[in-house]
Structure 1
Amino acid sequence: MNTNTAVLDRTGDTSREIREDAGTERASFEALGGLMAQMTGDEKHGPAATSTLDALWVLYTRVLRVDPHAPEDPLRDRFLLSKGHGPMAYYAVLAARGFIPESWLGDFGSFDSPLGHHPDRLLVPGAEIGSGSLGHGLGLAVGTALGLRARGLNTQRVVTLLGDAELDEGSNHEAIAYAGAVGLASLTAVVVDNQSATHGWSGGIATRFEREGWSTVTVDGRDHDALEAAFTAPHPGRPHAVVAVVEPKYS
């Protein structure tokens, strides 16, 4: 498979190409810190990024069926990053897994870089949506799961990662209610809880999903084995929510 695939830059020119090193994996979770350190200029969103790092790593190394050499394979699982602000962890994982070259990281946020402060699906191989405007990812994931089901693609996972504060947005509650009502079993919502929500929920985040018929698991968001077990827990006939609890945002 040729990994020297062209992608559009911000001017619409196809001259920017993914280098050959995009086809290789940088091996370990421990390497991610060095990859993230290459991206500067958005330090205010550092906690938003690091809160997602473990969940992203487990998804991309143990759960999702995605191929960096064929990021648009119609039989792939879909991962939608709803928590799109502070995407440094996401980019680091994509680089480690071979979707993008490490050489892109140092240009993060510059005018001609594909790696913006919010991911752009037209510029970043493997990105399913343009995100960062909070509250939209879960609704888009519901639509994606419905579209796959209509095409008879019932074994493809659709996973979206949200922050707990996103659940303050009302559109998420409509998506939660609808997905539960129609039994979207292919859908998993991962909610990273760093206690940054303004309002919160009586009884905890999981109860909001449970009331609409979702299967739920709440786990330590830094425990990789617990995350894998939660992501792969059976939930026949209904959507699944994993609440990944991490340290408070300003601890």
Structure 2
Amino acid sequence: MEPQELRAVANRIRRRDLQAVYEAGAGHIGGEMSVTDLLTALYFHTMSIDPQAPMDPDRDRLVLSKGHTALALYVVLSEKGFIPKEEISTFLRPNSRLNGHPNRVKVPGVETNTGPLGHGLPVGVGMATGAKLDGAAWRTFVITGDGEMQEGSNWEAIMAAAQFKLDNLTLIIDHNRLQQGARLAETNDLAPLRPKLEAFGWAVDEIDGHDMAQICHALSPQTVVAGRPKCIVAHTNKGQGISFMTDNVAWHHKVPNEEQYKQAMAELEEAAG
């Protein structure tokens, strides 16, 4: 897909995500809005995957380490054909397989269970190492939050990835500057992230995480540096696309009321043209 088509898909995903949060009365809508463009580009432009063969050994892998934004992943998987679109309406309901955090045993297309922050990148390093040992060509992508990068396990994984020269691994940091209850700068300010990753031997791109052309270029195999794992620092906005949610820490897992829901949906529909 071209960037314009990807933007249309991302807008549709945001609207369905918003509706599901409103109907379920729960979710992590701020981070879901910030990560949607990244997920859309991965699944509809970059990754080699087949919804009809979700366990194909040659598939690319995505680990959504910020597992609390599972709903955004579910909507993307439904748009791609891994799960029925109508199943999104079961989000968080009793006996639904669409839980608040993704479960690889239950949901096709989910590569590993996530939720406890700081686990996804170490798992991704293991995946990428396995591919190297097998001489396989598939790639591993990991999405973390910027607040999540405060976890020490991530930095151990970063060191290991450089040591093992995992140029088949791409870390994408959803750098929306906010975490639960506070700004990153008020807790443990890791910014700027680029020089820290470069100091560990990673190749780093810094992009606008809502610009589809930039996202697709940064994810392309042509930008991989031989022998070096890659990090994409994606500058995003929590609550992207919805005026009163954008860059507002209150919307980490707040649920819109009826009036807010109607306003948010109207804004997203207007953006869709």
Using the size of structure 2 for normalisation, the TM-score is 0.78
2:113 equivalent to 1:124: no
2:189 equivalent to 1:200: yes
In structure 1, what is the Cα distance between the partners aligned to 2:117 and 2:9?
30
Within-5 A mapping of 1:20-99: 28-40=9-21, 41=24, 43=26, 45-99=28-82
Q: How far off is 1:87 after superposition? A: 1.6
In structure 1, the residue matched to 2:3 is none
In structure 2, what is the Cα distance between the partners aligned to 1:63 and 1:172?
24
| Aligned counterpart in structure 1 of residue 167 of structure 2, from 168, 185, 189 | 185
2:95 equivalent to 1:112: yes
**SS across alignment from 1:87:** helix
- Structure 1, unmatched stretches of 5+, are 1-26
In structure 2, the residue matched to 1:24 is none
2:146 equivalent to 1:160: no
**SS across alignment from 2:28:** helix
In structure 2, what is the Cα distance between the partners aligned to 1:42 and 1:152?
46
| Aligned counterpart in structure 2 of residue 146 of structure 1, from 129, 149, 163 | 129
Q: How far off is 1:82 after superposition? A: 0.3
In structure 2, what is the Cα distance between the partners aligned to 1:108 and 1:241?
31
Number of residue pairs matched by the alignment? 223
Q: How far off is 1:33 after superposition? A: 2.8
Check the 8 A contact 1:137/1:162 in 2, yes or no: yes
2:226 equivalent to 1:236: yes
Q: How far off is 1:145 after superposition? A: 0.7
Q: How far off is 1:42 after superposition? A: 5.6
The structure carrying a bigger helix percent of its residues is 2
Q: How far off is 1:32 after superposition? A: 1.2
Question: How has the CA–CA distance of structure 1 residues 94 and 139 changed in structure 2, closer, same or farther, with 3 Å as cutoff?
Answer: same
In structure 1, what is the Cα distance between the partners aligned to 2:175 and 2:195?
14
Using the size of structure 1 for normalisation, the TM-score is 0.85
In structure 2, what is the Cα distance between the partners aligned to 1:189 and 1:42?
31
Superposed CA offset, 1:4-42 (max 9, x none): xxxxxxxxxxxxxxxxxxxxxxx8333213321342336
- Structure 2, unmatched stretches of 5+, are 1-7, 179-183, 239-246, 250-273
In structure 1, what is the Cα distance between the partners aligned to 2:25 and 2:160?
35
The one-letter code of the counterpart of 2:125 is V
Check the 8 A contact 1:42/1:117 in 2, yes or no: no
Q: How far off is 1:199 after superposition? A: 1.0
Question: How has the CA–CA distance of structure 1 residues 38 and 32 changed in structure 2, closer, same or farther, with 3 Å as cutoff?
Answer: same
In structure 2, the residue matched to 1:16 is none
The one-letter code of the counterpart of 2:197 is F
Identity rate, percent: 36
Q: How far off is 1:245 after superposition? A: 0.5
In structure 1, the residue matched to 2:206 is 218
Check the 8 A contact 1:35/1:102 in 2, yes or no: no
In structure 2, the residue matched to 1:169 is 151
Check the 8 A contact 2:46/2:216 in 1, yes or no: yes
Superposed CA offset, 1:199-219 (max 9, x none): 1225x1112211111000010
**SS across alignment from 1:28:** helix
**SS across alignment from 1:79:** strand
Question: How has the CA–CA distance of structure 1 residues 57 and 207 changed in structure 2, closer, same or farther, with 3 Å as cutoff?
Answer: same
Larger RCO (alpha carbons 8 Å, 6+ apart): 2
Check the 8 A contact 2:129/2:164 in 1, yes or no: no
Moved more, 96-105 or 41-50: 41-50
Q: How far off is 1:157 after superposition? A: 0.6
In structure 2, what is the Cα distance between the partners aligned to 1:87 and 1:223?
22
Superposed CA offset, 1:213-247 (max 9, x none): 10000100100000011111231111000011012
RMSD: 1.5
Q: How far off is 1:92 after superposition? A: 1.0
